[in-house]
Amino acid sequence: MPAGVNSPVRAFGAVGGMPPFIAQARGSHIIDADGNDYIDYVGSWGPAIVGHAHPEVIRAVQHAAASGMSFGAPTQSEVLFAEMLVARYPSIEMLRCVSSGTEATMSAIRVARGYTKRDFIVKFEGCYHGHADSLLVRAGSGAATFGVPDSAGVPAQLAQLTLTLPYNDLDALSALFDSRGHDIAAVIVEPVCGNMGCIPPKPGFLAAIIDRCRQSGAVSIFDEVMTGCRLGPGGAQGQMGLVPDMTCLGKIIGGGLPLAVYGGRRDIMQQVAPLGPVYQAGTLSGNPVAVAAGIATLTLLDDGVYARLSDLSTTLQFGLEQAIAKVRIPAVVQRAGSMLTLFFNPERVDDYTHAAQSNRERFARFHGGLLERGVYWPPSQLEAAFVSAAHSDEDIARTILAAEAALLDVAS
């Protein structure tokens, strides 16, 4: 395996050292192959919102698996799953299940291009939407971490069809739509960015994307693969009362198994085969075991869970901010719901340019200091940490103490 891993950030390239190999996980804790126990803030990069190996999710998975792992045919459970999502996301009138966030965004782009009969798409610098060719242009997450804004192997002719703008820059958005609005098939955005660290949108930014798309006949796509069902049952759009044309979901909705969806306005989704001319398919799409994990997870996510997540995350943010103040190190904590990032940056971060100016050497030492003290934090400055409903008050208190000690190491 290249660098010994199956996804780049896992190799710890941005922080150095050897990544722990994980043997098992339960609740808020993961245990490595050497028996070391960590409080986990990676949460499988988002899915583990109710904690690892939740008994009800495990029961649902075992039950589904015993009835057959995959049929390649329609099931009742995928209909129930779709209904659960449609009830939570008013923007989704029709949807299709796929197996990863990458497939969801890639397919949404294809549908938007087919629907509009236009080729150009717009994305924002530092937003990561998976590794489809058109979207690996000025992407965040591992791509940004490793300084590879454009991946080798992406044809220049294709990348030219992806126009990029700074996140949170309303003027740049307006200028682009004024000059080229009639060429644009879609604008895709992380409504709260997590892939250059946690960066919430400025007031009016997302509404402007939806409005400008509507005026010019382009399709607005909210990539809620990370934020969906995390910032609330209806994701970022639900929290903010916004209705984009299309939405992508992943991570949480599969409860830790490979499952994602793309969906949106009925007239747009009717373009998808076999109803319409846009082809998209998958052998394991809507896989019954993944769908069972998704239904069980969505069922667990009631108001109490979101209230608990909010309390825990607020306490963590506050504790980290106090530690930063005590140690007197230039750093800020940015949070949206239960996702947060500690940026080694003297000022608030609103876009990729500023996120990239954060002190990554300090972050690497902070990360190592946390790991030593039993806290598994995302191994890159440009990622968000995730709190789960399984974290205990004691986990959070221990994390704050560990962070203060790690910050002292960094400052010394």
> Which active-site residues does the annotation give?
128, 223, 251
User: Per rule CB under 6 A, is residue 388 in the interface with ligand PMP?
Assistant: no
User: Per rule CB under 6 A, is residue 105 in the interface with ligand PMP?
Assistant: yes
SS3 track for 332-347? EEEEECCEEEEECCCC
End-to-end Cα spacing for the chain: 37
Cβ atoms within 10 A of the Cβ of 320, count? 22
Minimum Å distance from CB 223 to ligand PMP? 5
Cβ atoms within 10 A of the Cβ of 61, count? 20
Minimum Å distance from CB 332 to ligand PMP? 21
Residue with smaller CB distance to ligand PMP, 368 or 378: 378
Minimum Å distance from CB 135 to ligand PMP? 8
Decide: helix, strand or coil at residue 93: coil
Q: Using the rule CB under 6 A, which residue among 40, 78, 125, 190 binds ligand PMP? A: 190
User: Per rule CB under 6 A, is residue 128 in the interface with ligand PMP?
Assistant: yes
Distance CA 14, CA 11 (A): 8
Decide: helix, strand or coil at residue 162: strand
Decide: helix, strand or coil at residue 110: helix
Q: Using the rule CB under 6 A, which residue among 77, 100, 134, 285 binds ligand PMP? A: 100
> Which of left, alpha, beta for 130 (phi over 0: left; psi -120 to 50: alpha)?
left
Residue with smaller CB distance to ligand PMP, 184 or 290: 290
User: Per rule CB under 6 A, is residue 129 in the interface with ligand PMP?
Assistant: yes
Choices 95-103, 158-166, 167-175, 295-303; region in contact with ligand PMP by CB under 6 A: 95-103
Yes or no: say if 33 and 20 are a contact pair by the CB < 8 Å rule. Answer: yes
User: Per rule CB under 6 A, is residue 47 in the interface with ligand PMP?
Assistant: no
Minimum Å distance from CB 248 to ligand PMP? 7
Decide: helix, strand or coil at residue 170: helix
Cβ-in-10-Å burial (0-12, 13-18, 19+) of 44 comes to: middle
User: Per rule CB under 6 A, is residue 225 in the interface with ligand PMP?
Assistant: yes
Minimum Å distance from CB 225 to ligand PMP? 4
Q: Using the rule CB under 6 A, which residue among 233, 238, 250, 379 binds ligand PMP? A: 250
Strands (DSSP E) contained in 190-311 are 219-224, 246-249, 260-264
Torsion 144-118-246-78 (CA) sign: negative
Short-list 262, 232, 245, CA closest to 186 = 245
User: Per rule CB under 6 A, is residue 45 in the interface with ligand PMP?
Assistant: yes
Residues near ligand PMP (CB under 6 A), total: 16
Residue with smaller CB distance to ligand PMP, 44 or 216: 44
Instruction: Please report, to the nearest 10 degrees, the dihedral formed by the alpha carbons of residues 309, 389, 197, 24 taken in order.
Output: 170
Residue with smaller CB distance to ligand PMP, 150 or 321: 150
Q: What mask, x for binding ligand PMP by CB under 6 A, covers residues 194 to 213?
A: xx------------------
User: Per rule CB under 6 A, is residue 102 in the interface with ligand PMP?
Assistant: yes
Minimum Å distance from CB 409 to ligand PMP? 29
Q: Using the rule CB under 6 A, which residue among 107, 141, 287, 338 binds ligand PMP? A: 141
User: Per rule CB under 6 A, is residue 162 in the interface with ligand PMP?
Assistant: no
Cβ atoms within 10 A of the Cβ of 79, count? 12
User: Per rule CB under 6 A, is residue 234 in the interface with ligand PMP?
Assistant: no
Choices 18-26, 88-96, 123-131, 404-412; region in contact with ligand PMP by CB under 6 A: 123-131
Q: Using the rule CB under 6 A, which residue among 144, 226, 295, 402 binds ligand PMP? A: 226
Buried b (16+ CB within 10 A) or exposed e, 268-280: bbebbeeeeebeb
Choices 125-133, 179-187, 295-303, 369-377; region in contact with ligand PMP by CB under 6 A: 125-133
The 8 Å CB, 24+ separation contacts for 363-366 are 363/14, 363/15, 364/14, 364/15, 364/16, 365/406, 365/409, 365/410, 366/342, 366/403, 366/406, 366/407, 366/409, 366/410
Chain residues that interact with ligand PMP, rule: CB under 6 A: 45, 100-102, 105, 128-130, 141, 190, 194-195, 223, 225-226, 250
